[in-house]
Amino acid sequence: MYTKISVQKINDKLKVYTPYNEHFVSKAHLLRGRWQDKAWWFDEAAIVPLRELLISLWNTTGESPYEACDLLIKNYSDSARLKPVYLFNWMIAKANSAIGNILVGSGVYLMDGTFEVGGDFNNWETVVKNATFEIREFPVPALKLPDVRRAIAEGWCEVLTTRTRKEGGEDIEVHPTRILLMEG
């Protein structure tokens, strides 16, 4: 089981790990969260809105481990001005306006196409052009989200494998999968 998205109760605080997502960061500040030691920390009273936020983004509360999968995204193009490109609430790439390079999202592996910087110094843009890439360790619960289901049905997103992880952290089972559409 995976814990890239996790919520742990420590005394009267909640310690939260998530992949980078600007929407999460914005809401975390509104919930009086603070970034410390590579995790978000919240008062225990924030648990209900925090659960709602995590479910809206990745369909998991992070309070228990979940299965993960690898997605293959085919021939995808998008751009975003002054911010990263996201797909299924997962950061794919982010242009850095100051030095003109690209930061690739966690677990994202480009196979074909490009991630590039567009625009100018003050109005930079993250550009994903005709990209084929994998998103590894994507949460299986998020496969139920409407955008993911639609992409799978349209054929430009494919679930390659589902993974089960044991306590020590190594993968113990990797299940090849063609399309995994869950009912419910």
Instruction: Name the residue ranges covered by the structural domains of the chain.
Output: 6-58, 68-176
- Please give the DSSP secondary-structure letter assigned to residue 67: -
Interval 104-108 mean pLDDT: 94
Q: What is the pTM of this model?
A: 0.84
Q: Residue 138: which pLDDT band, with cuts at 50, 70 and 90? A: very high
Residue 149 has pLDDT above 60, yes or no: yes
End-to-end CA distance of the chain: 21
Instruction: Describe the strand order of the beta sheet including 39-43 as a list of residue ranges.
Output: 6-10, 13-17, 39-43, 34-36
Kindly state the tokens that stand for 99: 């030095």
Interval 32-44 mean pLDDT: 96
E strand spans, the chain: 6-10, 13-17, 34-36, 39-43, 68-81, 85-87, 90-96, 101-104, 108-118, 125-139, 157-165, 171-176
Q: Residue 184: which pLDDT band, with cuts at 50, 70 and 90? A: very low
Q: Residue 164: which pLDDT band, with cuts at 50, 70 and 90? A: low
Question: Which run of H or of E encompasses 147?
Answer: helix 146-154
